[in-house]
Amino acid sequence: MMEPRQPLYQRGQIVFCLEDLFNDGTHPECEPDALLVSAGSEGEIVQVGHHEEANIPVYMVEFTNGRVVGCFEEELGSRQGSVPQAGVMQG
């Protein structure tokens, strides 16, 4: 069994969305395929979880539009403008 990959981001960290995010049917307050968050939107990580099958971190991000959306690392960037490589700790 592989060890869970360590998360790149932490709870409370400010991030921004790198791409438009659409409802894949899992967001109950919006129609399927509705735009949830536009690229460039800023948000705060409110919870860090783990996707068991893919063995990757999953982030619950509260965006400035009030929506809380589950995101993967490749969908997020840091506030400093650098785009992290998923699974690689920046230092």
Domain boundaries, the chain: 14-78
pLDDT of residue 83: 47
Count of H helices and E strands in the chain?
Answer: 0, 7
HEC string of 24-90 equals CCCCCCCCCCCEEECCCCEEEEEEEEEECCCCEEEEEEEECCCCEEEECHHHEEECCCCCCCCCCCC
pLDDT of residue 1: 59
Compute CA 80 distance to the chain's CA centroid, rounded to the nearest angstrom.
16
DSSP state of 2: P
Backbone angle region of 69, left / alpha / beta, with phi > 0 → left and psi within -120 to 50 → alpha = beta
Q: What is the pLDDT of residues 19-74, one digit of tens each?
A: 999 999 988 889 999 999 999 999 999 999 998 888 899 999 999 999 999 999 99
Q: What is the pLDDT of residues 6-26, one digit of tens each?
A: 899 999 999 999 999 999 998
Tokens 């919870």 map to which residue? Answer: 47
The answer regarding whether domain 14-78 maps to CATH 2.40.128 reads no
pLDDT of residue 63: 97
